[in-house]
Amino acid sequence: MKKLFWNKWIGFLIIVFFSFSIFTGCVPETGEKTKEGAAIGAVAGAAVGVLIDKNNRWRGAVIGAGIGALIGGTAGYIMDKAAKEAATTKKPVTYVSEDGIQKVYAKPVKSEGSCEWITVQYYEYGKLVKEEKKLICPN
């Protein structure tokens, strides 16, 4: 009976390991802003989740952290993508969410050798939330 249990457990772990290795091969390389956005979103989401789920605060924190990381990471990824696209095309780039709540605007400011200085602005509900200048160099 114990041997059957361990065989199933080891088989499950092997399936999980190979699933992760297959899925991570399809994921694009994550930039610094993607990681930063995911971390900030996870912390904020966990805090909100704890406050919302009064019956099981751990569950609320885990669900909130997951949702927050997904939203924050997506926003960071879009900021990185807009900056790289603006540097490549040397034209302003705008991304707007489907609901129109969030907007990312990236514009080239000046060239420095083969690199471009880009200003990236992140808006929510029409108000500027974050602005930063980035130096983007071709790989």
Per-residue pLDDT of 85-124, as tens digits, reads: 999 999 999 999 888 888 999 999 999 888 999 999 999 8
pLDDT, position 13: 62
Cα–Cα distances in angstroms (integers) from residue 25 to residues 19, 20, 29, 37, 104, in the given order: 10, 8, 10, 22, 28
Cα–Cα distances in angstroms (integers) from residue 11 to residues 6, 8, 21, 22, 30, in the given order: 8, 5, 16, 17, 30
Distance of CA 93 to the CA centre of its chain: 19
Question: What percent of the chain shows pLDDT beyond 90?
Answer: 24
pTM of the model: 0.64
pLDDT, position 19: 56
Locate tokens 């993508």: which residue? 81
Task: With a cut of 60, say whether residue 27 has pLDDT above it.
Answer: no
Q: ∠ CA(5), CA(6), CA(7), 5° rounding?
A: 90
CA 30 – CA 97 distance, rounded (Å)? 20
Which residue in 130, 70, 84 sits closest to 103, CA to CA? 130
Task: With a cut of 70, say whether residue 12 has pLDDT above it.
Answer: no
Structure tokens at 25: 């091969």
Q: Which residue has the higher pLDDT, 2 or 105?
A: 105
pLDDT, position 123: 92
Q: Do residues 18 and 56 make contact, with C-beta atoms less than 8 angstroms apart?
A: no
CA 59 – CA 42 distance, rounded (Å)? 14
Task: With a cut of 70, say whether residue 1 has pLDDT above it.
Answer: no
Structure tokens at 118: 């880009």
Locate tokens 């302003």: which residue? 92
